[in-house]
Amino acid sequence: MKKLRRTTGKHSLGHLLLIAMLSLGLVVMTNTVWAADIDTTSLAKQSQNPISTLISVPFENNATFNNGPDDDYINNLNIKPVIPMSLTENWNWINRAIVPVIYADQDIPGDSAKFGLGDIIYQGFLSPAKTGKVIWGLGPQINIPTGMDRFTSDQWSIGPNAVVLTMPGKWVIGALAGNVWSVGGYNDAPYVNQFTGQPFINYNMEGGWYLSSAPVITANWKADDNDDTWTVPVGGGVGRVFKIGNQDVNMKFAAYNSVVRPDDASDWNAQFTCIFLFPKGK
């Protein structure tokens, strides 16, 4: 387990943007009133299901602190569209993508990049159209080396991923998990063998409000030191599903502390998520 490091007094454009987004989101969340004919709990539970038939476009902003020996700030905006498809009467195919846009305060010798696109991840899930108490999906994950300079692994990586969840009453509980391995790379880039898991638990309340915890746990099986293999965050936050005009929106604030992490990795992540929802029939 790693010790927490002191946060420096540095300020950046990324910090200011984070404060602005948090302030705007808080104002919108607390002052928007739902139309009476909208079932907020049902829509919130759909948006919390990674393989629902709800089309959504999440913008997940992760502000990470105390990166590297100089305690630098790195901001990662993940654009994560979800597009479900009906294959047959009995089966759905859920398309998910993660497109990272990264800003880094860090100065790295020989690398002037501070802002750019990261590696794009595609996830596909085959899932039964008719679900019971347990909902599940299986499929491939493909990591595409689209990133710029320091923001890429320079490796094509492929592997399986799966999701399982249940939604009793006001709860949505489940987990995503997968592992990818290198299948080809550039510039003699290091081989990739990485596990990603995301347990999630949501409790839905009146008025579209909900409590949530969805930490992303990773394991780099190629780490030189066993102490640098795992990253395990702990934390959670609060969210609300509501309307902006005629647009259904889900906003969430969360914070996570990485109680286990590699040397020089970030210890704190402040997360703001805005998800645009597109229910069927609209």
CATH number of the domain enclosing 57? 2.40.160.40
For residue 2, being part of any structural domain is answered with no
What is the pLDDT at residue 227?
84
The model's pTM: 0.86
For residue 267, being part of any structural domain is answered with yes
Which residue from 193, 213, 209 is spatially nearest to 254, judged by alpha carbons? 213
For residue 7, being part of any structural domain is answered with no
Q: Return the sign of the alpha-carbon dihedral for residues 201, 20, 277, 79.
A: negative
User: What domain range is 244 assigned to?
Assistant: 13-278
Task: Report how many domains make up the chain.
Answer: 1
For residue 117, being part of any structural domain is answered with yes
For residue 1, being part of any structural domain is answered with no
For residue 3, being part of any structural domain is answered with no
Per-residue pLDDT of the chain (282 residues; tens, 9 = 90+): 443 333 334 445 455 555 555 555 554 555 544 443 457 889 999 999 999 999 999 999 999 999 988 889 999 999 999 999 999 999 999 999 999 999 998 766 666 668 999 999 999 999 999 989 999 999 999 999 999 888 999 999 999 999 999 999 999 999 999 999 999 988 789 999 999 999 999 999 999 999 999 999 999 999 988 889 999 999 999 999 999 999 999 999 999 999 999 998 999 999 999 999 999 866
Residue 171's alpha-carbon distances to 46, 48, 53, 165, 256, in angstroms, are 11, 10, 18, 10, 21
For residue 5, being part of any structural domain is answered with no
